[in-house]
A and B are shown apart, each in its own frame.
Chain A
Amino acid sequence: MTIAATGPRRSGGYLDRPAPSSLADVIDSILDKGLVIDAYVRVSLVGIELLTIDARIVIASVDTYLRFAEATNRLDLYEKSKDLPEVIEDMTESGAQGKSRGLLSGAKEALLGSDDDRRSDDNRRADEEEDTGDYEEARPRRRPAKKAAARRRRNEE
């Protein structure tokens, strides 16, 4: 990719500048960061740190490969002229992969609280939902019926 060929400079709104930061951004930014200090009472974090670390080391698993294969298979190569809102929605459907999805959403559920607590965040950009544990939300999916059935079957296992 040639970055020099970006044309005239303008503020085209391509860069996402969330302000204030969403909960998902805060979790990623600060949960396991900052100066660690000795000789103090450490408040329990209910294992959240361990979960987020675990989530990063299960990338090369068979489960992950199967999900990558599934994502590749449901790709419609002849449908390239989608407009951006659709693209973002599709990204939302399958943002995280494999066990990292379950672990991360588990860790984040603990922080995010119940569904009711979460409603105030529902007006965030669609592409941030992948970070907030709303993975299993039902959405219309444009996918052949056979594949959809296969997907459901795996989810029930």
Chain B
Amino acid sequence: MTTPSDVGLGCYLYGIVTADLVVPADLAGVGDEPVSLIPYGDVAAITSPLDSERALAGRADLMAHGRVLDAIAALGPVIPVRFGSLLQDRDAVRSELLEPGHDRFHAMLADLAGHSQFTVRARYDEQQILTEVVAENPEIARLRAVTRERSDDSSYGDRVRLGELVSHALEAKSAADGQTLLSHIERYAAAVNIRESAGLDRLLDAALLVDDSRRAEFELAMEELAEAFAGRAHLKLIGPTAPYDFVEAEE
């Protein structure tokens, strides 16, 4: 624990909320420090004290950052600030952050009110999707048969070619299946952010900003999609969380 008398004590910043939000008394932040608000006009910063000499980026710090923001998001609109943001002191939070940004933050919070972020992660069953790819592409099936029977060195070119064709086939599949998934859920979202991701089993990573009044419908649609894709892909739904994907700066 740090104390207010420590030299180099800064304000760790989680996000920005409306000034009337009441922070739960038992909410512990980074370093297990108590979380409090620094208000300015209609907005307020969520902060906790942090020794600026202390290195961040441990797993506990990242989890604490997300835990605080998701707890706050359940109480009212919040603009998440990027992990690792530290201001010098409480005065700096007001004069350097809240005062110059007040009107912009106020407008962003009004837009976010009544919405929560949900993140969809869809991953193929690797065996199933590769079986489809081989069955649907004669050239892939041929190269697979050729390279299976030969040593790695003598089939190098064929193996690269095989992998390239498989990669392209998987891209086409994930583009089509991803669009199918989105077409069934984007109607529930005020905004959608398609994330970049990699991996053989990648199907779709998308964040959706869902209106609270449509949340039940959205969750039911996700359940139905997960069942429809069962055996072929695995769907994961994370949320509701703070709207991490929907607060990009508009400079």
Chain A contact residues, CB within 8 Å of chain B = 1-3, 5-7, 9, 11-12, 14-18, 20-21, 23, 25-37, 39-46, 48, 55-56, 58-60, 62, 64-73, 75, 77, 80, 82, 84, 87-88, 90-91, 94-97, 100, 110-113, 117, 127, 150, 153-154
Contact = CB atoms under 8 A, between A and B. Distances in A.
A97 B198 contact: yes
A14 B238 contact: no
Contacts of B75: none
Interface string B218-238: 001011111111111011111
A94 B126 contact: yes
B180 A33 contact: no
B131 A75 contact: yes
Contacts of B147: 69, 73
B194 interface: no
B16 A35 contact: yes
A88 B125 CA distance: 8
B144 A72 contact: yes
A20 to B, nearest CB: 7
Interface stretch (B36-44, B208-216, B241-249): B241-249
Given A35-B80, A35-B247, A1 B228 contact: yes
Residue among B197, B199, B237 facing the most chain A CB atoms (10 A cut-off): B199
B2 interface: no
Interface residues of B, number: 90
Interface string B58-91: 1100110111011000000001111111111000
Given A30-B69, A87-B127, A113-B59, 9 more contacts: A1-B228, A6-B228, A29-B244, A31-B62, A68-B166, A71-B130, A73-B147, A75-B131, A84-B231
B83 A30 contact: yes
Given A27-B62, A64-B163, A69-B159, A41 B82 contact: no
A29 B114 CA distance: 20
Nearest to A96: B199
Contacts of A34: 15, 80-83, 244, 247
For the complex of A and B, list the 7 residue pairs with the smallest distance between their C-beta atoms, beginning with the closest: A65-B163, A15-B226, A69-B163, A14-B226, A34-B82, A68-B163, A33-B244
A32 B65 CA distance: 13
A67 B166 CA distance: 10
Contacts, number: 251
B6 to A, nearest CB: 15
A36 B82 contact: yes
Contact of B220 (A9, A25, A30, A55): A9
Nearest to B54: A43
A91 B88 CA distance: 46
6 contacts: A7-B227, A18-B238, A26-B62, A29-B238, A87-B128, A110-B57
Contacts of A35: 15-16, 79-82, 247-249
A84 B235 CA distance: 14
Nearest to A82: B127
Given A12-B223, A29-B119, A36-B82, A90 B127 contact: yes
